[in-house]
Chains A and B, each alone.
Chain A
Amino acid sequence: MQRMDRTALAARVARDIPEGAYVNLGIGAPTMVANFLPRDKDVFLQSENGLLGMGPAPAEADIDWELINAGKQPVTILAGGAYFHHGDSFAMMRGGHIDICVLGAFQVSVHGDLANWHTGAPDAIPAVGGAMDLAIGARQVFVMMDLLTKTGDSKLVNRCTYPLTGLACVSRVYTDVGVFSVGPEGARVIEMVDGLTLDELRKMTGVELEMA
């Protein structure tokens, strides 16, 4: 079977983002989705720290530490971009104005519950940032993750065992071996990588799966 690497996965997610969408890309791998959005189409990237119309990383000489993204990396602003304060930024999420957000996850349940902020380990210092606001606020939440953990456990689960970020908020899960829809009806397989069968996918995840 031909697993997708992070780059291919980012390109796959980008294909499902239509022109005109207001999009928030989470910290880490989801940030890479921006590299695959078609340049001849207008997609509006929002950054939680007060920026719409976010552009790519600047050249070294143009770095401005008062123009950064949520991951605190230097970015640029496109012509037509805007700055705003934190109240407005999170009103954009909570108020349903963000069409799509793309997030990483520790676990997603077949009903769309998301766990991505805290491992629950007793010695971990918890930090949540904007994850909970994005999870329940964006009209569609796409998760981008490897299907299995390093130890081979499925991250697509019947019930999340990690602390939840939001209930019934995820609509799609993009993984290295396939794309799933999740929601009230359970999980459905939208597509699989070549060389993988539905039965093998059922075995890997241990959850009930049908083709979409």
Chain B
Amino acid sequence: MINKIVDTMSEAVAGLHDGASIMISGFGDAGAPAELIEAVIAHGATDLTIISNNAGSGETGIAALIKANRVRKVICSFPRQAASHHFDTRYRAGEIELELVPQGNLAARIEAAGAGLGAIFTPTGYGTLLAEGKETREIDGRNYVLEYPIHADFALVKARAADRWGNLVYRKVARNFGPIMAMAARTTIVQVAEVVDLGALDPEVIVTPGIFVNRVVRTSAAANA
């Protein structure tokens, strides 16, 4: 019997290694897997590359990971926020590398990784600083920039509910990067509020099929474990 549900947060992040690349779902706090990030901090892995839309704000989530000095590089579209002081400080001190990617290219490069594509030609960024030095091509009269897929060792994703095969549904705009990151990482780890029986999720509305998911942990259960 296949059961992807694990009992504890530490089991969920087992095998994380120094130097790992980690995708983290979320747009601001919506969809950010806060408990899994806490588990990464507790695990101790360092020298991490974080792929996410933002670079954390306040004192929790990615900001806490940066504060704990675990992050070597951030690949994101929008690092600067009202309370992104932990990122700002380390970036200004030259202690953290930033690869700034337009948000749609970030999504498309993650999708390309998940879909097994070698590269994509995207119109976004053509003629700007963010395409400097990159190969370009004119196709049917429009200019495109060659961009490569973004793969990751792990994806940390927040969803609303899962079954033991790892099928997922999300909640409102907390979905954001979850489905495409789940496809792009070698090991996808999902935190959910609710675990349901097989068959309880309507196959017509499953957003992420379990083939893209390796481990699921329920946040409320894990909090007590």
Interface residues of A (CB under 8 A from B): 47-51, 64-68, 72, 77, 83-87, 89-90, 93-94, 118, 123, 125-133, 136-137, 163-167
Residues of A within 8 A of B105 (CB): 132-133
- Asked whether, in the complex, the Cβ of A127 is within 8 Å of the Cβ of B124, the reply is no
Interface of A is mostly: loop
A66-B30, A87-B108 known; A127 vs B78 contact (CB < 8 Å): yes
Residues of A within 8 A of B106 (CB): 86
Residues of B within 8 A of A84 (CB): 175
Interface residues of B (CB under 8 A from A): 27-31, 53, 77-80, 87-88, 91-92, 98, 100-108, 110-111, 122-130, 143, 170-180, 207
Residues of A within 8 A of B128 (CB): 132, 163-166
Residues of A within 8 A of B180 (CB): 85-87
Given A85, A86, A167, which contacts B126 in the complex, CB threshold below 8 Å? Answer: A167
A132-B124, A133-B103 known; A86 vs B177 contact (CB < 8 Å): yes
Residues of B within 8 A of A165 (CB): 128
Residues of A within 8 A of B98 (CB): 125-126
Task: Give Cα A17–Cα B127 distance, bound, in whole angstroms.
Answer: 29
Residues of B within 8 A of A87 (CB): 107-108, 110-111, 179-180
In the complex, which residue of chain B has the Cβ closest to the Cβ of A54? B173
- Asked whether, in the complex, the Cβ of A94 is within 8 Å of the Cβ of B104, the reply is yes
Residues of A within 8 A of B122 (CB): 94
Q: How far is the CB of B103 from chain A (nearest CB, A)?
A: 4
Residues of B within 8 A of A164 (CB): 127-129
- Asked whether, in the complex, the Cβ of B79 is within 8 Å of the Cβ of A72, the reply is no
In the complex, which residue of chain A has the Cβ closest to the Cβ of B171? A66
- Asked whether, in the complex, the Cβ of A68 is within 8 Å of the Cβ of B103, the reply is no
Residues of A within 8 A of B124 (CB): 94, 132-133, 136-137
In the complex, which residue of chain A has the Cβ closest to the Cβ of B79? A127
Task: Give Cα A120–Cα B171 distance, bound, in whole angstroms.
Answer: 38
Complex A-B: 7 CB contacts under 8 Å: A49-B30, A51-B172, A67-B173, A85-B176, A125-B92, A126-B80, A133-B104
